[in-house]
Structure formats: C-alpha cells, structure tokens
C-alpha cells in the first residue's frame, strides 16, 4: 500500500507540475504559439529570399507582410485541425470557432486583403524594385547578408505581431487566457471595433489620396507636399491607421475572454517596426 500510495503521490505531483507548466503564460506562449509562428514565418522568409535574389527584387519580401500573418491565423484557426484530423472538414473546423474568433479572423483578413492588394498592385505598376531597396542593393555582399539583416529579422517581427491573432485562435491547447468582466466586455469589443474601423478607414483613405496626388504630379509636373484629407491630420496616416488596426486586436480579445498580456507585444512590435525599421523614418 505504501508503494502504491507513493506512486499515486508521485503521479499527482507530476500532474500538478505539468499543469503549472501548461498554465504558465510564458511557457504556453513559446510552446503553443510563438515557436510555431517563428517556424512558419522563418520558412516563408527563406522562400521569399530565394525568389527575391533570383529576380533581384528585395520588395518581394513585402508581399509576406500581410499575407504571411493572415496565413498564420488561418492555419491556426482551420488548417492545423484539418491536417491533424483528416476526418475533420473545413465546415467542422469553422464551426468550432466562436463568433468573437470569427470576427477577429475576418478583421485580420480584411486588413491583409487591402494591404496585399496595395503592395502588389503598386509593385506591378512600378515594374522595378522599390526605390527604398535600390540603394541598399549596391552595398558589397548585400544578397549574402540579406537573410540575416533583413528577411529573418522581419520574420521575427511578423511572429510577434501575429500573437494577438494566433493566441486567441489557439484556445484549445493553451491556457491562461482571460478577459474583461461581463459588465465591461461588450464595451471593450465595441471600442476595439471602432478603433479598427478608424484605422482601416484612415489607411485606406491615405493610400487613395496619395495615389491621387501622384497622378496629379504626373499630369501637372509639379510636386507639393500633400496636406489635405487625412494627411492634414497626421504626417503618416497610413502608418497610424495600421498601428490602430493592430491595437484593436488585443483589445477585442480582452473583451472576448481571449486575452493574454503577451498579446500586447504584437501591437508594440508593429509600432516599433513602422517607426524605426520598415517605415520611412
């Protein structure tokens, strides 16, 4: 009996330790979301690097910025369930999502679709590499250093930025997610929806107005700083709009009981990237 009781105690202690580990936000973050995201975005970046080097167009990495992140979200929400359980259909995988998760996935897809169209259409119209990258390509050994200086670092940022998307869609295998009280939950969701709508509208108008400005410059041959529309409010409305969209995601999750403080890393990483790395300083 003593031996049996000892085994029970050891088994109980082991279960308790496993529960503590699984409920640790930091461990759950790394095991359940961040490491798989790093693998996905890192792999996509290596593929993009190979194509970019072959075509001598660095801007191809920009195609991954919106598409890679929303692909990650759809994989976590639907793809992994269908792959791990071949008997599960798309409809069955979709039906397990709550309406809050569906709304989050829909908002991310709308953000991605608009930005993807913007990046690719601009690239095709230009027909050459983005002017921001033409100068850096003249540096000695640029393409040999590019994977470690540009492509993989951006993959790390993408993995961090997608945390507010992949964590709430991974609620079936990570723990520790929580949210606002019932009295405040609806208000947080409404606030998040308003912030997202504001940011989405702002970046859409900003891109439309700057394209119209460029057409006028081509027609009239005279350049001037755009100071009308949303460009009269802030100097970089497209970047501000993008930052607001990403801020809305963790706020929505907080109002949906799908929040973890680690998700704020996504909004912070997105702002830092726009402010100091990817945007026009």
Q: Counting beta carbons within 10 angstroms of the beta carbon of residue 90, is it exposed (0 to 12), middle (13 to 18) or buried (19 or more)?
A: exposed
Q: Counting beta carbons within 10 angstroms of the beta carbon of residue 91, is it exposed (0 to 12), middle (13 to 18) or buried (19 or more)?
A: exposed
In a domain? residue 73: yes
Residues in contact with 26: Cβ distance below 8 Å, sequence separation at least 6, in sequence order: 262
Say what the pLDDT of residue 212 is: 87
- Give me the number of domains the chain comprises: 1
In a domain? residue 21: no
Say what the pLDDT of residue 130 is: 86
In a domain? residue 47: yes
Say what the pLDDT of residue 224 is: 73
In a domain? residue 20: no
- The residue assigned the tokens 């496993």 is 18
Cα 149 to Cα 45, 136, 152: the distances in Å are 12, 11, 7
The answer to whether the Cα torsion of 37, 42, 47, 48 is positive or negative is positive
- Let me know: does 85 contact 69? Beta carbons within 8 Å: no
In a domain? residue 206: yes
In a domain? residue 9: no
Say what the pLDDT of residue 95 is: 95
- Let me know: does 239 contact 273? Beta carbons within 8 Å: no
Say what the pLDDT of residue 82 is: 95
Whole-number Å distance between alpha carbons of 266 and 270: 6
3-state class (DSSP) for residue 178: strand
In a domain? residue 12: no
| Percent helix, percent strand, percent coil in the chain, to nearest 5 | 80, 0, 20
In a domain? residue 119: yes
Say what the pLDDT of residue 50 is: 96
List per-block mean pLDDT (blocks of 10 residues) for the chain, which spans 281 residues: 44 45 53 87 96 94 94 96 93 96 97 95 89 87 94 95 94 87 96 98 94 78 79 91 96 96 93 80 54
Say what the pLDDT of residue 215 is: 80
Closest CA to 69 of 266, 256, 268: 266
Q: Which two tokens stand for residue 143?
A: 């393409």
């Amino acid at each position: 009996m003593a031996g049996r009781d000892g085994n029970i105690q050891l088994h109980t202690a082991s279960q308790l330790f496993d529960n503590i580990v699984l409920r640790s936000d930091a461990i759950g973050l790394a095991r359940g979301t961040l490491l798989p995201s790093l693998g996905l975005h890192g792999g996509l970046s290596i593929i993009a690097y190979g194509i970019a080097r072959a075509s001598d167009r660095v801007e191809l990495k920009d195609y991954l910025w919106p598409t890679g992140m929303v692909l990650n979200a759809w994989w976590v929400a639907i793809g992994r369930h269908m792959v791990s359980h071949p008997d599960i259909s798309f409809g069955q995988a979709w039906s397990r999502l709550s309406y809050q998760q569906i709304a989050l996935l829909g908002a991310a897809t709308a953000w991605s679709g608009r930005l993807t169209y913007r990046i690719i259409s601009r690239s095709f119209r230009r027909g050459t590499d983005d002017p921001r990258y033409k100068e850096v390509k003249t540096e000695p050994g640029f393409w040999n250093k590019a994977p470690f200086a540009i492509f993989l670092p951006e993959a790390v940022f993408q993995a961090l930025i997608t945390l507010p998307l992949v964590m709430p869609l991974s609620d079936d295998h990570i723990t520790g997610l929580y949210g606002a009280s019932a009295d405040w939950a609806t208000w947080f969701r409404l606030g998040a929806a308003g912030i997202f709508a504001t940011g989405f509208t702002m970046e859409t108008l900003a891109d439309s107005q700057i394209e119209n400005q460029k057409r006028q410059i081509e027609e009239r041959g005279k350049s001037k700083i755009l100071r009308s529309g949303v460009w009269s409010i802030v100097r970089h409305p497209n970047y501000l709009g993008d930052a607001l969209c990403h801020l809305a995601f963790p706020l929505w999750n907080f109002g949906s009981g799908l929040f973890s403080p680690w998700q704020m890393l996504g909004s912070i990483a997105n702002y830092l990237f726009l402010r100091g790395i990817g945007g026009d300083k």
